[in-house]
A and B are shown apart, each in its own frame.
Chain A
Amino acid sequence: MSINKKIMWGLVAVLGAYAMSTIATYRGETINALWLITAALCIYAIAYRFYAAWIAAKVLVIDETRATPAERLDNGRDFIPTNKWIVFGHHFAAIAGPGPLVGPTLAAQFGYLPGTLWILVGAVLGGAVQDMVTLFLSMRRNGRSLGQMARDEIGVVGGSAALVGTFMIMIILIAVLGLVVVNAMKHSPWATSTVAATIPIAMLVGVYMRHIRPGRVLEASAIGVALLLFSVLAGGWVDHHETLRVWFDHDGLPLAYAIIVYGFAAAVLPVWLLLAPRDYLSTFMKLGTVLLLAVAIVILRPDIHMPAITQFTDGTGPIFGGKLFPFVFITIACGAISGFHALIASGTTPKLLSNERDIRMIGYGGMLLESFVAIMAMIAATVLEPGVFFAINSPAGVVGKEAIDAVAKINSWGFAVTVEQMEQLAKDMGESTLFARTGGAPSLAVGMASIFGSAFGKHLLALWYHFAIMFEAIFILTTLDAGTRVGRFMLQDMLGNFNKKLGETSYTPSVILTSSIVVAGWGYFLYIGVIDPNGGVNILWPLFGIANQMLAAIALSVATGILVKSGKLKYAWITALPLTWLVAITTAASYQKVFSEDVRVGFFAAANDLSTKLASGILPADKAAVAPQLIFNQHLDAYLTLFFVVVLWVVVIDMLRVTKRYIQGKPTLPVSETAYVKTNLLT
């Protein structure tokens, strides 16, 4: 390294350390969001330049002269040597979904600091390492999936665990995302009509791409994006129209049923009609909006009003129950470390790499960018006045149904907010109310609308708000469509072991049967979430977090096992370290979710509490009516959590068994890396 470069990196380090210490120690009323951005960018730069480069060179021993699967198996379809920027774009579009937006918003109840630290540290030492190492291992194995690698290298147990784990995550994830959309559309004719309009728009784009002008993807997408923007505008007209608005003004339950019917339709309809075009639109929207948000934050440099740390670290938070440890680490999965990424990093992406050296930028860099999205979501949530933030995100079951009660409760926590202020805000945003709009989407939309509004014109607040809602809804629905479909394929694959016919992906009865099972699975959790007076998100999101961290632990176990077997025991800590942390937080969180006496944390405690109240007849009639279902669900959730943590430990112990055998010199499953072939692509 030249002396100039040394000086430059020294400056980056000093700036990063200074920004970091400012964030961590500053205790004034507000702090500028630019500090968070600066700290994040410096940390990412240093981690990428030094840690990731060191891992690539010393641990993985990247070999630029080695031909990648894309080169060796080039078939012009899935194996194609591709420019690294293009692969980066594909990879990022695949990994970054709604998760990094929702998690930080919910975790902001602890203040901006804990979530921000975890997003930065978790991504740099955990998530990005997991993504990069998994990408590397899969690339050296012709793009094999995580499940296959687990089976080949560790044993059958790990492979099955990865499969079952993925399926379960999918169910929980879709349910919670569905709930987020329902909560954003509840009694909002504007949001509901706009989200509904995305369906015919996607279909139109699909027909255009398939039949009118086959393969003209960009033309079709441009038309679609224009129509989407128009639908946001048109939603405002619907909202102001006396008769039309009634059609789109609904309770949570009918909206949930609509989403369930939609999900089923999306899973059985051909992909070209709905899923593929929706995905194009959501990808363009996602990249465009993230970019716009970054630009707006830099132009505007908004102040963060949330305290660094709130009193809710003691576990009494309104958005979800549970202490800072371990729940901040469970709530923010995507953005810090997301097990799901391992499925992408061991699927499509390794088949596109044209050179091994690209894995640092794509695996590690891709995750850093997702982490940055999470930081922006954290900023959008915390620029709101804390009183407003809690008014939007606290469920009615915690703060009360009436605005006046909710405000009094939030004021009693020391956060200023008034009924008039909330009414004005709702009016500005074109909504009837913003109280108890749980799930993170509405508060993120308010945050984004106020950032965009200040940067690009305040009179358009309602438009910005519904643009943000549309933006979140469109790629939540993409995840919902794609997830239901993947669940269907996995189920068909499993059933195919018992009945060959059921395993055929195009056999209609099997398609209908498996789609129904998957939709019924997430539909059930969505239904319970909607009828739950505490909003459901507080139950489902931690469950999703635990499941996602479990999958990350499986991926890191596989990676650690392979590193050890490849004779790299002394470097195995790069994956063993985040693995240990994940096992600790997942086990702690699961233990508390199952056994805690606190009714807001423990599933059994909550079920018992509700049973007692039901038996003594003190519940109001509407709550008593749904209580038996809620009690059943709490029990189910407890067993589900136990299942996740058992699967996690089984995989970890299996990995330790393999490691021990290797160290003792006993035979283990052979390392399944493909043989060296020299590349012809190097210029």
Chain B
Amino acid sequence: MFKKLTQFWSAIRQLSGDDAYERYLQHHAEHHVETPPLTREAFFKQWQDGKWTGVKRCC
């Protein structure tokens, strides 16, 4: 039961983008160790701008 709730919570976090920075850090650590990662604020700025370029919502 508790495990299910944790899974549900992490799904919500992922869906909403709440954990986007943590995922970015993980991706960064795996693929781009040579450069320092962006700060949370800088990352979020970039992430949000990227998210809203193009057709993202429908009728």
Query: A residues touching B (Cβ–Cβ < 8 Å)?
Result: 74, 76-78, 80, 82-83, 85-86, 89-90, 94-99, 166, 173, 177, 209-210, 214-218, 221, 271-272, 275-276, 279-280, 334, 338, 340-341, 343-344, 347-348, 478-479, 482-483, 485-486, 489, 505, 544, 548
Contacts and interface: CB of A to CB of B under 8 A. Distances in A.
A99 B58 CA distance: 9
A347 B59 contact: no
B16 A76 contact: no
Nearest to B30: A76
18 contacts: A80-B27, A86-B14, A90-B15, A98-B59, A209-B44, A215-B18, A216-B18, A272-B49, A275-B52, A279-B57, A334-B58, A338-B58, A348-B56, A478-B57, A479-B58, A482-B57, A486-B55, A489-B53
Contacts of A548: 59
Given A479-B57, A479-B59, A271 B15 contact: no
Q: Report, nearest first, the 3 A-B pairs whose CB atoms are least far apart.
A: A76-B27, A99-B59, A215-B44
Interface in B29-59: 31, 40-41, 43-45, 47-59
Contacts of A217: 16-18, 20
A272 B48 contact: yes
A338 B59 contact: yes
B47 to A, nearest CB: 7
Contacts of B12: 218
B46 to A, nearest CB: 8
A357 B18 CA distance: 27
B41 A214 contact: yes
Interface of B: 11-18, 20-21, 23-24, 27-28, 31, 40-41, 43-45, 47-59
B43 A215 contact: yes
A127 to B, nearest CB: 12
A536 B56 CA distance: 27
A344 B59 contact: no
Given A98-B59, A338-B58, A86 B15 contact: yes
Contacts of A86: 11, 14-15
A138 to B, nearest CB: 13
A478 B59 CA distance: 10
B3 to A, nearest CB: 16
Given A76-B27, A489-B53, A272 B45 contact: yes
A95 B58 CA distance: 5
B44 A489 contact: no
A110 B14 CA distance: 43
B58 A97 contact: yes
Contacts of B51: 276
Contacts of B11: 83, 85-86, 89
Contacts of B27: 74, 76, 80
A218 B45 contact: no
Contacts of A485: 52
Contacts of A279: 56-57
Nearest to B59: A99
A348 to B, nearest CB: 7
B16 A215 contact: no
Candidate in B12, B48, B52, B55 with the most chain A CB atoms within 10 angstroms: B55
B15 to A, nearest CB: 5
A371 to B, nearest CB: 14
A344 B18 contact: no
B57 to A, nearest CB: 4
A282 to B, nearest CB: 9
Contact of B50 (A77, A95, A177): A77
A83 B44 CA distance: 21
A344 B55 contact: yes
A97 B57 contact: yes
Contact of B55 (A90, A218, A347, A478): A347
B41 A97 contact: no
Contact of A214 (B13, B14, B44, B57): B44
B7 to A, nearest CB: 10
A279 B44 CA distance: 16
B35 to A, nearest CB: 13
A214 B52 contact: no
A272 B44 CA distance: 10
B56 A94 contact: yes
Given A76-B28, A214-B41, A276 B52 contact: yes
Contacts of A80: 23, 27
Contacts of B53: 489, 505
Nearest to B51: A276
B44 A210 contact: yes
A215 B43 CA distance: 9
Contacts of A344: 55-56, 58
Candidate in B18, B40, B45, B52 with the most chain A CB atoms within 10 angstroms: B52
B59 A218 contact: no
A218 B14 contact: no
